[in-house]
Structure 1
Amino acid sequence: MTCILVSRSIGGVFVDVVISEEHESEMEIAEHPVEKGAKISDHAWRLPYRVTLESAIAGERAVASFQQLLDVQSTAEPFSLVTGLKVYQNMLIKRLTATRDRENARVLKFEAELQEVVIVNTESSGGGSSSDDKAQGTTKRGQVAARTTESIPTRTDKVLSDAIAVD
């Protein structure tokens, strides 16, 4: 039996505990009438995934870890996020809220809202229509096709190294 231990890292910044995870997957559905026989997929699309994590980092690492989280946010470099439910690709920290009070004076308790960045490749066909163009969605000179991509380099190596598979 294979067991996967969940990462305790956000963009390479290690946290001591994940208090809660909130996962959001939403579809945008066009509000205008759809003609009978039309492809419904042309009138509905998935919005970027959102994950909200409530986490804590205790002790001497709290201040340095908060600065590291701010640095990850400001670099705007997509990374993979390993959670208990799903591995998310191309995530960025959208919002970071830190709370310190008398109960948590030596603890960084924070909430991080992460959002997927939908990354596409755009390609322009230079000549006439070819079988390659049709496969890529371009059929006329100068048309541009947008395709989502699964292979954009991210900070995956840092985060996925935090998840350990055990046989």
Structure 2
Amino acid sequence: MKAQFLLVPATALVAVAAPVYAKVYLSIEQAQQLMFPGATLIQQPLTLTAGQVHAIEKASHTDVLSRQLRLWKVSTGGWFIIDQVVGKHAFIPIALGLDGTGAVKSIEILEYREAFGSEVRNPKWLAQFDGKRNGATLTLTRDIQNISGATLSSKHITDGVRRLLATYALAIAPH
């Protein structure tokens, strides 16, 4: 009697063993209604020019990841922006609500794909950004508290908010 062995490709074993951590918290529409209840939002996509990208990067000390901005004008005043920042291993989609003067109204984490650090969704942590405007230093551990175990996500979200505030001041508000 011959012994038979079941050969399973190594990639199949890895795929089975790798846990999935992605968690969707809010859709874009849900975030819009949460931030601007009852308002009408009109999408106004914006493509940043090379000059705007350079100015935003200089002002925010953060790289612009995409020249395409997903932007909505809010009927009751303000702006709603969808963007993403790099976590430790994956992108973190965020929604940023700005009031009519360009100050942060609120921020929401739409999805989180990392194994650790989902504490960045904590409303108290996110509330640190409320009222911030372009020009605020927004430095992790100095202006914004760090979250142990989510240091990279905390830093990149902070950098992303600073970048979006500069984007508002340099590319959205002038129009």
- Going by fraction, where is strand more abundant, 1 or 2? 1
- Going by fraction, where is helix more abundant, 1 or 2? 2
Larger RCO (CA within 8 A; separation ≥ 6): 1
User: Does the TM-score normalized on the shorter chain lie above 0.5?
Assistant: no
TM-score interval (norm. to shorter): under 0.3
Query: Which is greater in Rg?
Result: 1
TM-score normalised by L of structure 2: 0.25
TM-score normalised by L of structure 1: 0.26
